[in-house]
Structure 1
């Protein structure tokens, strides 16, 4: 594993807000599009990931969350460490996230599916993240602050 991004801080993170320790993954399909998911009862799309359990290592949390949320089973060796990012929490007002970010490139035949608490998943063009390609007409949607930061960091490294 190698670290390819440095720690970033999103503008607007609230001082004194409660912090949630999470993992988040940029999941890239074989066509170069990025996977975003939406939890049931929410409006913002986010990366695959979730809260780190007490005593759990961030990489182990990422592998677990990917399997729970989208049914992807991959070995830790396939995961690249991107770094850590802070941002306002999209679905929990008054909170910020301290996210361990990762990158996973899907292999041919790997197909994520929305399960557990997820309502929906979309594939986006990372260069035009607010629009979902492949739908007619193209659908615009809300993307969480952390996800926007990760997309910007991805664009900067390319």
Structure 2
């Protein structure tokens, strides 16, 4: 099964809500982030993606590494996603949907089943947001 490497942000606000996003043409919500460009570190990838997708400017020192996680890919059949994940604090007023994103939601722990979620979010990343 081919791997898709990404960087992902587990963004939580002061109230404990976790940010999930949905890309145009997809149905599942996931953590913001994306694929690296040549020569980028995982943190550099995430900083660029957060700026492109959410107009969120982040300094690398604000990113807290969470580790590497592997799950079935949400949008590419027969692929796995290998994610380098980072924790970050932000508020709803800090983010704006742009680029390939169609929608964002802030989820409370009890909301996990209110929207269709990517396997990586369900299995690994959202539990980290609410630990």
1:100 aligned to 60, 65, 84, which one?
84
The structure whose RCO (Cα within 8 Å, separation 6+) is larger is: 2
Contact 1:84 1:98 in 2 (8 A): yes
Residue of structure 2 in register with 1:144 after alignment: 118
Q: TM-score, normalised by structure 1?
A: 0.77
Q: Match of 2:76, SS?
A: coil
2:97 matches 1:114: yes
Contact 2:6 2:84 in 1 (8 A): yes
Q: TM-score, normalised by structure 2?
A: 0.92
Q: Match of 1:22, SS?
A: strand
In the aligned structure 2, how far is the partner of 1:154 from the partner of 1:26? 6
Please identify runs of 4+ aligned residues in structure 1 that moved more than 2 A: 152-155
Q: Which has the higher helix share?
A: 2
Q: Which has the larger radius of gyration?
A: 1
Contact 1:72 1:110 in 2 (8 A): no
Shift, 1:116, TM fit: 0.2
Shift, 1:154, TM fit: 3.8
Residue of structure 1 in register with 2:64 after alignment: 80
1:125 aligned to 102, 108, 114, which one?
108
Q: How many residues align?
A: 130
In the aligned structure 1, how far is the partner of 2:17 from the partner of 2:9? 13
Contact 2:12 2:129 in 1 (8 A): no
In the aligned structure 1, how far is the partner of 2:129 from the partner of 2:56? 22
In the aligned structure 2, how far is the partner of 1:127 from the partner of 1:24? 22
Q: Name the Cα RMSD after superposition.
A: 1.4
Shift, 1:126, TM fit: 2.7
1:64-118 CA-to-partner distances (Å, cap 9, x unmatched) read: 11001111001111110000000011011111111000001016x8421110000
